[in-house]
Amino acid sequence: MIGGAWLELRSKVISLLWGAGGIALFVVFWWAISVAIGRERLPPPPEVIRQLYEIFIGSPMLASRGGVGTVVPHLVNSVAKYLVGVVVGVTLGIGLGLLMKCSATVHDIVIIPVEGIRTVPALAFTPFLLLWFGPTALAVVFLVIIYISLMLVISTVNAIDNVPRIYLEFAKTLGTTERQLFRSVVLPAILPELRGGIRVAISRSWGLVIVAELMGSPLGLGKALTVVTPYFAISTIIALIIVTTALANITDICFLVATRRISRWAPQYEEH
Amino acid sequence: MCPWRRKQIKRDEKIRLENVSKAYKRSGEEDLVVFNDINLAILKDEFVSLIGPSGCGKTTLLSIVAGLTPPTSGTVLLDGKSISGPGRERGVVFQQDAIFPWRKVIDNVRYGLQMKALEKAKQFEIANKFIKLVGLEKFANFYPKELSGGMKKRVAIAMVFANDPEVYLMDEPFGSLDYSTKVELQKELLKIWQQEKKTTLFVTHDLEEAIFLSDRIVVLADQTVKEILEVPFSRPRLDALRTEAAFQDLKRSLWKYLK
Amino acid sequence: MKSGVAWIHARVSLRGMRALKRSLGVLLFLLLWEVGAYLIKLKNPQFHSNIFPSIAYIFTESLTGIATFATVDLVRTQQSSVVLALIVLAQNSVVTLTRLLGGSFIGIGVGIMIGIGIGISKLFRRLFGPLLNVVRTVPLLALIPLFLVWFGGAEIGIYLYIIFGLAMFMLVYTANAVQNVQPIYIEFAKTLGASKGQVFRTVILPAIVPELAGGTRVCLGIAWGITLAGEYLAAQDGLGRILIWSQIYMFAGRMVIIVLLFMMYAILINTVVLRLKEYAAGWMP
């Protein structure tokens, strides 16, 4: 009894130690290379950590060239754009997907332009958005909206197509009408798959936000990067990238936790 | 009288299980004991069925003999030598589809021979012989995805038999098939077995199948060997046997063990 | 006889209807485009063609406009703007596609190799598993400034970026695929006498091919994004560069042409990958 629980704990601790060992190796490796090729080319870990601290407190570098002193306003700005883009994009994408499955006419009309536009990488639209909206937050938000909705339209359609026919047929033999069928069988059945699709789409959106901001934006993490890049301040760049990664992870975890109930019943839900 | 009670026969033992036990550790609870202290001897060229209620561990026992699962204690001896790990001398026909979907039938059947680095011509010669034996000559160049469940099982059997192991281990090979295909394959198995006779351990939950195929039946229940019965019917076993009174009597007497 | 004809009529009608609706979709899109172009024309009579050109404009003025990207020597050899434009497009296509496909090839290859190593080695997995899980979450596109600072706009920088990004992705994907090979195949192979090395070559490798093909398709999608980002921010040539410079000088029509090219290439590459998958994994049920 106690023996079993102790064994489990022990194995968890052991894998944790192994993992920590790997990370430690990585840090040592990094440090070694930093020493080997010089701190201008690759700053050693402590310097990066220092920058990580500084950009939050107050960095003269960030303040230069008419920028803001700390990374916080940039951070908030990027998060705001991201969230707006995600919410609108997800709603639009799933909505259109559902509409397409509800009406064959809509499906047939819309499918070719949608599939056609989807073949193009999302970044190809960035110049258009910059042209039409200028280097503003709107361009970034629209980029995210376009990307996510295109991804999710197809995701939704596929998910609905993948609902095993047997569920629908069984439901019909139990007296379900077409309307009820959609709400009581199709929707619950597609939620886990949809959850996975949304997760992937929103995690990729962070990269789009950063690049769009890199290309022209008054504020945002991408903008912070453009301020710092001319100084060749690699440690600050890395620090900003770490901040971005942390944000991406936080939004991912928040999403997973918030939607945990959706996949409660799914027999095999993989985390990727 | 009971002609099917165990008799003493002196013949060479092929497989011997000595004090084999298997238990799984569980966190926060007592160990899950599958079976305890199993002692069993399977004789040369004998066809033995292993039956028992579901969950009694018959598949686990077979897996241990196959070397795919280690026993918690005890040893398994093949010709007096203890085994460790799987090997070509103990061929296994699994319950699930294990034939390789990326190889055609002919390439599947010659797989074991290929691993043994037999010369190519010989590989194809032997493989074709066994493909013919299971009645799949027309499908030699098909992919598994184009075959039915029963056909895929035949490929598996051909693969194992072509590899010429010393013993055949079969884990409910016909479990997932419908009744008529099952009966068909049982007949074919016996036909092939008559030709390439080897020691066989056959796990099944189907009493009729066990009686039809085997020389002896081992009942595994309550974590131990409950009973070992001799099947008195002579070979070759014919379909008519299934409806004979003696057959049904034997089946009835075994029923109580499956509860 | 009559019912037969009616039946055929109904069938053809149904399929015909769907095809009609699909072409309607395309026509509707083009119509909306023209309407949009017209509205912009009303609003901004001077620069409308630069912001939202009509379709006719795109295929005349914009196309020839691309000739302005031609190098000096090229201009000397050619008179016709259209031909010049086409040559410019062709040359830059080659540049962009080489980056895309070359980088992808190497990146995916490296990723698969390391991924297989991680998949089969328990030691590797325990040691580097958590580390890789963390590194994986770094948004790829956010690394551009880093590569920019390290390599400037040099070709090698763009290549290394693509290779790094794809290798990271393919690595995890392959390791997962190796882990997900159904154990029954491995067990069966062992009972048929296969050694560890033989199991690897004859079971694991063939079994992961379909999944790797799928992963490759996703990788190519990612590679497109990375290549474009690289060309926007750093490159001296390539279709992405034409795209961004056209944007800076506000020539929307030229941008549309480039995007149409992207569409064409993407579809082409996708078809090729699908064909390859059919060939390599035709055995999949």
- For B158, the closest chain C residue by CA position comes to C192
DSSP A146-185: HHHHHHHHHHHHHHHHTS-HHHHHHHHHTT--HHHHIIII
Q: Collect all residues of chain C within an 8 Å Cβ-Cβ radius of residue A124.
A: 228, 243, 258-259, 262
Interchain CB distance below 8 Å, C150 and A130 = no
Cα distance between residue C285 and residue C275, in whole Å: 16
CA distances C86 to A235, C89, C100, Å, are 44, 5, 20
| Best of A40, A82, A112 to mutate (most C CBs within 10 Å, chain C) | A112
- Please tell me the predicted confidence (pLDDT) of residue A272: 35
* Confidence check: pLDDT of C123 > 90: no
Q: Which residue has the tokens 């009579």?
A: C45
CB–CB contact A7 B26 (8 Å): no
Mutant choice from A8, A10, A11, A12 vs B, greatest count of B C-beta within 10 A: A8
Residues of C in contact with B88 (CB under 8 A): 191-193
Q: Which of C61, C10, C40 is nearest to C256 (CA)?
A: C61
- Residues of C in CB contact (< 8 Å) with B are 184-185, 187-195, 198, 202-203, 206-207, 209, 281-285
Q: A217: helix, coil or strand?
A: coil
Domain ranges of chain C: 2-63, 69-280
B26:A8 CB<8 A? no
Residue C78 confidence (pLDDT) above 60: yes
Write out pLDDT tens, residues C44-69.
Answer: 888 877 888 888 888 888 888 888 88
Q: Which of B149, B111, B133, B128 lies closest to B196, judged by CA?
A: B133
Instruction: Give CA–CA dist C41/A7, Å, rounded.
Output: 74
- Work out the minimum CA distance from A270 to partner chain B, whole angstroms: 23
Query: Which residues of chain B have a CB within 8 Å of the CB of A3?
Result: 25
Give the whole-angstrom CA distance, residue B9 versus residue B22: 29
Q: Report yes or no: C30 at the A interface, CB cutoff 8 Å.
A: no
CATH class of B1-86+169-174+198-259: alpha beta
B59 phi/psi in degrees, rounded to 5: -65, -40
- Tokens 């709107």: give the residue: A138
What's residue A4's pLDDT? 63
Judging contacts by C-beta atoms under 8 Å, the chain A residues touching residue C250 are 131
Helix (H, G, I), strand (E, B) or coil at B59: helix
**Is the pLDDT at C24 greater than 90, yes or no?**
no
Beta-carbon contacts below 8 Å between A and B: 14
Average pLDDT (C103-109) is 95
The whole-number pLDDT of residue B9 equals: 42
Query: Which chain C residue's Cα is nearest to A105?
Result: C21
Please give, rounded to a whole number of angstroms, the shortest distance from the CA of C192 to a CA of chain B. Answer: 5
DSSP class of residue C143 equals G
Neighbours of chain A (3+ CB pairs under 8 A): B, C
| pLDDT at A7 (0 to 100) | 77
What is the bridge-based pairing of β-strands B224-230 and B81-82? Answer: unpaired
Low pLDDT (below 70) residues in chain A: 1-4, 65-67, 267-272
Q: What's the CA gap between C62 and B5, in Å, rounded? A: 96
Q: Residue C205: list chain B partners with CB under 8 A.
A: none
- Is the pLDDT reported for residue B7 higher than 50? no
Q: Are B231 and B216 in contact (CB under 8 A)?
A: yes
State phi, psi for B167 to the nearest 5 degrees: -135, 155
Calpha distance C226→C101 (Å, rounded)? 12
Interface touch C137/A248, C-beta < 8 Å: yes
pLDDT (0 to 100) of residue B174:
93
Inter-chain touch A124–C228, beta carbons under 8 Å: yes
Q: Does C51 touch chain A (CB under 8 A)?
A: yes
Give C266 to chain B, closest Cα distance, Å.
29
Segment among C86-100, C195-209, C232-246 with least mean pLDDT: C232-246
In the block, tokens 């992961």 appear at: C208
Structure tokens at C180: 């997900």
Residue among C25, C146, C243 whose CB faces A110 most closely: C25
Interface of A with B in 3-62 (CB under 8 A): 3-5, 7-8
The CATH T-level fold of domain C69-280 is MetI-like fold (1.10.3720)
**What pLDDT, on the 0 to 100 scale, is given for residue C128?**
87
Q: Quote the percentage of chain A above a pLDDT of 70.
A: 95
Chains that touch C (3 or more CB pairs under 8 A): A, B
Residues carrying CATH 3.40.50.300, chain B: 1-86+169-174+198-259
Q: Determine the residue of chain C that is closest to A18 in CA distance.
A: C127
Calculate how close chain A gets to B24, using CA atoms only, in Å: 11
Cα separation, A86 vs A140, in Å, equals 11
Contact at 8 Å (CB) between C225 and A204? no
* Partner-chain contact A248 C139, CB within 8 Å: yes
Q: Compare CB distances from C225 to A20, A122, A130 and report the shortest one's residue.
A: A122
Backbone angles phi, psi at C85, to 5 degrees: -60, -45
**How much is the average pLDDT of B125-144?**
95
Q: Compare CB distances from A7 to B25, B29, B30 and report the shortest one's residue.
A: B25
- Mean model confidence pLDDT for chain C: 87
- Between chain B and chain C, the number of residue pairs with CB atoms below 8 A apart is 74
CA geometry: angle B174, B179, B180, nearest 5 deg? 105
Which of C18, C20, C39, C149 to probe by mutation at the A interface, max A CB count within 10 Å? C149
Instruction: Give the tens place of pLDDT for each residue, A216-261.
Output: 888 899 998 988 888 888 889 999 999 999 999 999 999 999 998 8
Q: What contacts 24+ positions apart, CB below 8 Å, involve B25-29?
A: B25/A3, B25/A4, B25/A7, B26/A4, B27/A4, B27/A5, B27/A7, B27/A8, B28/A1, B28/A4, B28/A5, B29/A1, B29/A4
- Min Cα–Cα distance to chain B from C10, Å: 34
Determine whether the interchain pair C228/A121 forms a contact, defined as Cβ–Cβ distance below 8 Å.
yes
Nearest CB to A131 within list C26, C51, C146: C51
Contacts of C22 in chain A (CB under 8 A): 108-109, 111-112
Instruction: Name, in order, each residue with C-beta under 8 angstroms of C153's C-beta and a sequence gap of 6 or more.
Output: C234, C235, C236
Alpha carbon distance B23, B38 (integer Å): 13
Beta carbons within 10 angstroms of residue A224's beta carbon: 34
Structure-model confidence comparison of residues A56 and B141, the more confident one: B141
Predicted TM-score of the model (pTM): 0.83
- Please tell me the predicted confidence (pLDDT) of residue C3: 66
Whether residue C25 and residue A244 make contact (CB cut-off 8 A), yes or no, is: no
Provide the shortest C-alpha distance from residue A8 to chain B (in Å).
7
Closest CB from B100, B112, B143 relative to C203: B100
Test A21 with C229 for CB contact under 8 angstroms. Answer: no
List, in order, residues 6 or more apart from B67 with CB less than 8 Å away: B76, B83, B84, B85, B86, B87, B90, C191
Nearest CA among B173, B154, B152 for reference residue B93: B173
Chain A residues whose CB is inside 8 A of the C126 CB are 15, 18-19, 22
Q: Distance between terminal CA atoms of chain C?
A: 41
pLDDT at C2 exceeding the cut of 70? no
pLDDT at res. C153: 75
DSSP B11: -
For range B19-27, the mean pLDDT? 87
Can you give the pLDDT at residue C234? 78
Q: Which of C188, C202, C279 to mutate to test the interface with B (most CBs of B within 10 A)?
A: C188
The C-alpha atoms of residue A12 and residue A8 are separated, in whole angstroms, by 6
Contact list in B for residue C190 (CB cut-off 8 A) is 68, 85-87
DSSP codes, C45-80:
TTTHHHHS--HHHIIIIIHHHGGGGS-HHHHHH---
Residue C5: is its pLDDT beyond 60?
no
CB pairs under 8 A between A and C: 154
How crowded is residue C200: how many other Cβ atoms within 10 Å of its Cβ?
Answer: 16
